[in-house]
């Protein structure tokens, strides 16, 4: 492909030659980046190749954003962004059928939406490891503690639920002193 492009129109300007080389390198990089599927650890959750494969991936991601899924702790605003990006990518792939059939400009647009989407999903991944370095109470020696984002969010929700229940119980006891057990 490159040789046919090169011989069909000889570059007379060194800048034009550099731009063509850069464009070919970007296309190759985009093609390589879509060739690797998610292994569950890379943070690449969405890999667009064909419209049908992407539709299956989009359905799975939407399912994973529900309670109990990998992205169950995604914030509502981020969930809207994910759905919007999935819709944009689906429309782009539906229009051309596959990444291979897209123009270079459309491939770059698809790649950018895909990277944005993967970034949002990575941030909301309940399996993402978060490490903190803090000094325990009574010590000046910091320790490193690592937990998953899912563990942190479950603990946060559990704490909020516990505090809410206790506040409700205390308010009820203040209203009805006979229930205090005195």
Calpha distance 72→152 (Å, rounded): 13
Number of folded domains that form the chain: 2
Q: How many CA atoms lie within 13 A of 12 on its CB side?
A: 1
Last residue in a domain, options 123, 141, 158: 123
Calpha distance 146→104 (Å, rounded): 42
Is 19 a residue whose pLDDT tops 80?
no
Is 102 a residue whose pLDDT tops 60?
yes
Calpha distance 175→34 (Å, rounded): 62
Q: How many CA atoms lie within 13 A of 101 on its CB side?
A: 10
Q: 160 and 97 share a domain? A: no
Which pLDDT score, from 0 to 100, does residue 27 have?
A: 56
Q: Domain residues for 157?
A: 149-180
Q: 34 and 106 share a domain? A: yes
The residue behind tokens 């667009």 is 48
The residue behind tokens 């990006």 is 85
Residue 119 maps to a domain: yes
Partners of 132 in beta bridges:
145
Over residues 4-15, mean pLDDT: 53
Which pLDDT score, from 0 to 100, does residue 86 have?
A: 95
Chain segment 49-88, per-residue pLDDT in tens: 888 889 999 999 999 999 999 999 999 999 999 999 999 9
């Amino acid at each position: 492909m490159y040789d046919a492009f090169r011989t069909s129109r000889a570059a007379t300007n060194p800048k034009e030659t550099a731009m063509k080389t850069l464009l070919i390198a970007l296309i190759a990089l985009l093609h390589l980046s879509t060739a690797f599927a998610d292994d569950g650890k890379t943070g690449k959750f969405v890999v667009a190749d064909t419209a049908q494969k992407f539709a299956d991936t989009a359905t799975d991601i939407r399912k994973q954003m529900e309670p109990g899924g990998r992205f169950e702790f995604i914030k509502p605003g981020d969930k809207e962004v994910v759905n919007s990006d999935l819709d944009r990518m689906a429309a782009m792939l539906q229009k051309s059928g596959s990444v291979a059939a897209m123009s270079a400009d459309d491939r770059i647009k698809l790649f950018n939406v895909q990277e944005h989407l993967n970034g949002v999903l990575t941030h909301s991944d309940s399996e993402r490891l978060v490490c903190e370095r803090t000094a325990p109470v009574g010590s000046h020696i910091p320790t490193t503690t690592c937990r998953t984002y899912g563990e942190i969010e479950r603990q946060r929700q559990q704490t909020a639920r516990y505090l809410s229940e206790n506040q409700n119980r205390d308010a009820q006891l203040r209203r009805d002193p006979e229930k205090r057990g005195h």
